[in-house]
Structure 1
Amino acid sequence: MRTGIHRCILELLRALHRDHADLQLVPFSRTGNAAADLRVVLQQEGLPPGLAPRQARLDRLVRTVLPASPLPGKLRELAYTVRERAYESALVRALRSTSDPPLLQDCFQGTPLRKAFPPCHHLAIVYDLIPILFPLQIQAGFFEPFDAFYASLTANDTVICISEATRLDLLRCYTQLNPDRCLAIPLAASEQFRPEHDQVAIAAIKNRLGLAADQPYVLSLCTLEPRKNLAAVVQAFARLPGLQAEHAQLRLVLVGTSGWGDQAELAAMARDLGVFDRLLITGYLPDAELPALYSGALAFLYPSLYEGFGLPVLEAMQCGTPVISSNRSSLPEVVGEAGLLIDPTDIDALATALEAVLSSTELRQRLGADALERASLFSWSTTAGRIAQLYRERHNSR
């Protein structure tokens, strides 16, 4: 199962490899235990293997020479440390064998190569400031590594932020950074997200989820965690005026992996509000099934309290689905005027917006058309083009 960040990095690699043949791309894994998976993915995608095969072989070797699992406490920790250092040392030697110091692109938090290989010009991607701004809404242990990474960035580093909201948050929290070297370059949705006009395909995914072919539904897709504000979605759904009349067949479909929030609490809330039988929590669904699910929804709800970008919103818009979203953080940058933006803490506002979309075919059609037009402004070719130009500029300025 690929995370949102995994999918974004893969899309970026595809676009860079396809459109910018002058760039020599050398993908590598941040950790040894992920190298084998990276090697397989790169091979399947026809992308440059980079250091992944070498990393996978090295990881197998150090695990064989220094098996950690049978060892007691401190010896096990020592084995992990030695393995890590051997792994990092081999990577540094591999990069130093290149004729020209490379640009080192961090795609997620920090890499150990940053300190070990100072000739690199360092570029980092920052996705959001969630662990810093909302430490009480994340799992224990997340704040420290993220804070250490952001604090390690210097005024000479180039930082790519996935939205202007994220850029402003980063500069406000980490004042050592150079604003001119912190750039907002938006993400994009995969090209597979497009309107599904085949009603048979839409009926097939509905049938697999236990919905009738003609059953209407509204959709929300995200990791199930408090920041996503799904409690507000359930409450707003329960407040719909015609829930027992004109919307008597309407279902609320929640798609996504369980994060650290309590799914049972959502179910209990739905039961207390009398809408438990109208709620469908599907869990994870593969990307291939999502375009039909987006396209079949009467509306897509995303009242998140904070986002670094908000990729599910763009995916829904690219499928022509009417969007009701939060007016906070990066989401207005994505939605623009092509959806309904509400205060995510105002349950009545969310319920009113949903009722407006459900009760007006004309509004749904207009929002769907506006969503498609707005979504066309985002593409991985454009994003990769801006990043490739940045690579060239940084390389030529050394």
Structure 2
Amino acid sequence: MNVTTSANWNRPPVGIVRVEQALCEELGKIFGEDKFKQCIWQDGQFVEWIPLKNSEKSKFEKAADVILPKLASFDVGRSFLMRALRMFEKDSFNNTVNLSIPIDKVRSYGPRSGDVLISVGLDWDGAYSSSFYNLSKKNGVHVLTCCYDLIPVLFPQYCVGDVSNRFKEYFNMLTWGSAGVLCISKQTEADFLNLCHEIGAPKKPTCIIPLGDNVPDGTGVASLDVQEVVAQPFILFVSTIERRKNHEVLYRAYHLLCRAGHAKKLPKLVFVGMPGWGVSDLLKDIELDPLTRNLIVQLNHVSDADLNTLYKSAYFCLYPSFYEGWGLPVGEALAFGKALLVSDQGSLPEVGGDLVQYISPWSPEAWAEAIIDFVDHPEKIKIIEERVRNNYKIRKWSDTAKSVFDFTQNVLSMASKGAIELFPGYDLSTQAGIHVGANLQSTGEGGYLMFGPHRSLRPGTYMVEIFDNREMRSGGQITIDMVANQGSSVFWSGGISVNPGDSAEDAPLVTFEVNIDEYVNDYEIRCIVDNSIVSLKKINIIPI
């Protein structure tokens, strides 16, 4: 699993970081240590990443201090050093770490042919996403990626700069490099498949994985700021403060209610989240508005203990976002048994079902009416809360991980049955021929008409079929072989006649069977010609 996002994250985790961390933990339990490894992108490749437990950090930090000083330029090196110390530790006593490092076996530190690489982080910001296609095609790695939402494509006005075209390119690249795509809701899957159709990207298998409910840990003491907030009635909106989340409609609803004379009975409106892009004018309006002054509170940098306290104490919760791929805070609030007023857009109805009240995100008047209705009729809140407690089933991350696990098995099953199709003109190289579209055609010169593709192949038995353009044959002999390890491992070799009329119209030029006993990273199919004319058009490698 690619954990580059989490490994480089130094702030309280946001939605996608929390997804990556929760899935990583649960998938590790399902697969077990022998089959599940973490990796990060470093120096142009994925390398294994072994997280240190808190109980181990002090010991290995002290050992690392002996070898590398605590300098900024050594930060990454120290992390890998501490993980190496843990990996090769034999025993520790008397302030000494003793190592046992085997040097007779080369260790694989990254994904290899036949592995599945699961990547669900902030992939659009990572240089590694452009490597997925080569990992898949050349290295035989099955890459599973994740589509959270298509907001930059569907609603570019809510994003920084002109991101629509860049994200179309990203999703196109993602699709070509993926063996399958995880989608966090039915809405996201529909949006993704529509985009693939629009931009001509291949249709890859998809799997819907509804996200688990991140119920904040209740251990610890809430901060003084939070204790002050919960001492009075308040309603709660948990989200980064940005334009798409639509804090503005709640501010305008409160302004309308204050102007209508309801200010004294309104609970505090609490925004929990860091300010993002495009909200400076809104925050200034809130600061200067005399009608809503002291009624709207912003809390940044809240801990899990803070958030747990806020959810438990909130009168009710709100989520007016213009669009969401899922909407984790809605599930969080329901897990705490809370009544909710929620936007009716995007995937939010998938999260809330029939347990929440839906409102158009475009209407401050509708939000004002719903808020004051709850305030004036607390018995309604009690009835809703009882329905939520009796009917809402908390979504577990273990169930999300099980969906990913099952999808992984399906992808591997499809890969084991699927044929590899190569087009010599596109996928292979030549020394004694020319590329003619998808074909490789000889010119009458001797040498290698075809070699490559230098890709990975997993162990197994395969039937190889090589097709040519029969009408181009001039007669003579050619040599074809299948090799690996720069030609030192020969799986099959034979001489072939290329006389006109030797075979039926659609029959292959040659068919042969090979047995691959172990993973190979550079298999080649080679064709050597003398002065014969032949045009090779397709190769099938079919698992038996």
Of 154, 157, 164, which aligns to 2:176? Answer: 154
Q: Distance in 1 between matches of 2:347 and 2:176?
A: 24
Of 291, 306, 312, which aligns to 2:308? Answer: 291
Counterpart for residue 64 of structure 1: none
- After TM superposition, the structure 1 stretch with the greater mean CA deviation from structure 2, 283-292 or 206-215, is 206-215
- After TM superposition, the structure 1 stretch with the greater mean CA deviation from structure 2, 309-318 or 349-358, is 349-358
Q: Distance in 1 between matches of 2:192 and 2:312?
A: 35
The alpha carbon displacement at 1:129 in A equals: 0.5
Counterpart for residue 71 of structure 1: none
Is the CA contact 2:344–2:360 (under 8 Å) kept in the aligned structure 1?
A: yes
- After TM superposition, the structure 1 stretch with the greater mean CA deviation from structure 2, 171-180 or 282-291, is 171-180
The one-letter code of the counterpart of 2:110 is L
Is the CA contact 1:205–1:293 (under 8 Å) kept in the aligned structure 2?
A: no
Of 110, 134, 141, which aligns to 1:95? Answer: 110
Counterpart for residue 216 of structure 1: 233
Q: 1:116 to 1:239 in 2, by over 3 A?
A: same
The alpha carbon displacement at 1:317 in A equals: 1.3
The one-letter code of the counterpart of 1:294 is Y
- Overall identity of the aligned pairs, in %: 25
Counterpart for residue 244 of structure 1: 263
The alpha carbon displacement at 1:379 in A equals: 1.3
Is the CA contact 2:145–2:182 (under 8 Å) kept in the aligned structure 1?
A: yes
Helix, strand or coil for the counterpart of 1:239?
A: helix
Q: Distance in 1 between matches of 2:74 and 2:201?
A: 38
Residue by residue over 1:251-305, the C-alpha shift from the partner in whole angstroms, topping out at 9 and shown as x without a partner, is 1111101211234533424633610221111123122321110111111111000
Is the CA contact 2:179–2:411 (under 8 Å) kept in the aligned structure 1?
A: no
Counterpart for residue 172 of structure 1: 194
Counterpart for residue 148 of structure 2: 127
Q: Distance in 2 between matches of 1:24 and 1:314?
A: 31
| 1:251-270 mapped onto 2 (5 Å cutoff) | 251-269=268-286
The alpha carbon displacement at 1:8 in A equals: 0.7
Helix, strand or coil for the counterpart of 2:207?
A: strand
Is the CA contact 1:335–1:374 (under 8 Å) kept in the aligned structure 2?
A: no
The alpha carbon displacement at 1:351 in A equals: 1.2
Helix, strand or coil for the counterpart of 2:265?
A: coil
Counterpart for residue 373 of structure 2: 356
Q: 1:123 to 1:186 in 2, by over 3 A?
A: same
The alpha carbon displacement at 1:112 in A equals: 4.3
Larger radius of gyration between Structure 1 and Structure 2: 2
Counterpart for residue 444 of structure 2: none
What TM-score does the superposition give when structure 1 sets the normalisation length? Answer: 0.77
The alpha carbon displacement at 1:168 in A equals: 0.9
The alpha carbon displacement at 1:151 in A equals: 0.7
Q: 1:294 to 1:32 in 2, by over 3 A?
A: farther
Q: 1:226 to 1:179 in 2, by over 3 A?
A: same
The alpha carbon displacement at 1:39 in A equals: 5.2
**1:388 partnered with 2:412:** no
Is the CA contact 2:237–2:271 (under 8 Å) kept in the aligned structure 1?
A: yes
Counterpart for residue 368 of structure 1: 385
Counterpart for residue 18 of structure 1: 29
Counterpart for residue 190 of structure 1: 214
Counterpart for residue 4 of structure 1: 15
Of 26, 39, 45, which aligns to 1:28? Answer: 39
Q: Distance in 2 between matches of 1:380 and 1:395?
A: 23
The structure where helix makes up a greater share of residues is 1
The alpha carbon displacement at 1:212 in A equals: 5.8
Helix, strand or coil for the counterpart of 2:28?
A: helix
The one-letter code of the counterpart of 1:309 is W
Helix, strand or coil for the counterpart of 2:395?
A: coil
- After TM superposition, the structure 1 stretch with the greater mean CA deviation from structure 2, 23-32 or 180-189, is 23-32
Q: 1:192 to 1:280 in 2, by over 3 A?
A: closer
- After TM superposition, the structure 1 stretch with the greater mean CA deviation from structure 2, 226-235 or 208-217, is 208-217
Residue by residue over 1:352-373, the C-alpha shift from the partner in whole angstroms, topping out at 9 and shown as x without a partner, is 1112222222221222233345
Helix, strand or coil for the counterpart of 2:176?
A: coil
Q: 1:188 to 1:114 in 2, by over 3 A?
A: same
Q: Distance in 1 between matches of 2:224 and 2:312?
A: 15
Residue by residue over 1:163-220, the C-alpha shift from the partner in whole angstroms, topping out at 9 and shown as x without a partner, is 1111111111221456671222111123446xx7x9xx9xx74842473654111111
Q: 1:352 to 1:312 in 2, by over 3 A?
A: same
Q: Distance in 2 between matches of 1:212 and 1:192?
A: 18
Q: Distance in 1 between matches of 2:413 and 2:55?
A: 30
Is the CA contact 2:272–2:298 (under 8 Å) kept in the aligned structure 1?
A: yes
The alpha carbon displacement at 1:349 in A equals: 1.1
The one-letter code of the counterpart of 2:265 is E
- After TM superposition, the structure 1 stretch with the greater mean CA deviation from structure 2, 282-291 or 129-138, is 282-291
Counterpart for residue 65 of structure 1: none
Q: Distance in 1 between matches of 2:411 and 2:245?
A: 37
- After TM superposition, the structure 1 stretch with the greater mean CA deviation from structure 2, 340-349 or 261-270, is 261-270
What TM-score does the superposition give when structure 2 sets the normalisation length? Answer: 0.57
The alpha carbon displacement at 1:396 in A equals: 2.5
Helix, strand or coil for the counterpart of 1:253?
A: strand
Q: Which 4+ residue blocks in structure 1 deviate beyond 6 angstroms?
A: none
Is the CA contact 1:306–1:328 (under 8 Å) kept in the aligned structure 2?
A: yes
Residue by residue over 1:320-369, the C-alpha shift from the partner in whole angstroms, topping out at 9 and shown as x without a partner, is 22111100001000011111110010111111111222222222122223
The one-letter code of the counterpart of 1:136 is Q
Is the CA contact 2:183–2:189 (under 8 Å) kept in the aligned structure 1?
A: yes
Helix, strand or coil for the counterpart of 2:171?
A: helix
Helix, strand or coil for the counterpart of 2:182?
A: strand
Is the CA contact 1:207–1:213 (under 8 Å) kept in the aligned structure 2?
A: no
Helix, strand or coil for the counterpart of 1:111?
A: helix
Q: Distance in 2 between matches of 1:225 and 1:45?
A: 38
Is the CA contact 1:303–1:344 (under 8 Å) kept in the aligned structure 2?
A: yes
Q: 1:151 to 1:209 in 2, by over 3 A?
A: same
The alpha carbon displacement at 1:230 in A equals: 0.5
- After TM superposition, the structure 1 stretch with the greater mean CA deviation from structure 2, 356-365 or 264-273, is 264-273
User: RMSD of the alignment, in Å?
Assistant: 3.4
Q: Distance in 2 between matches of 1:366 and 1:150?
A: 44
Unaligned 5+ runs, structure 2:
1-10, 57-72, 79-107, 417-544
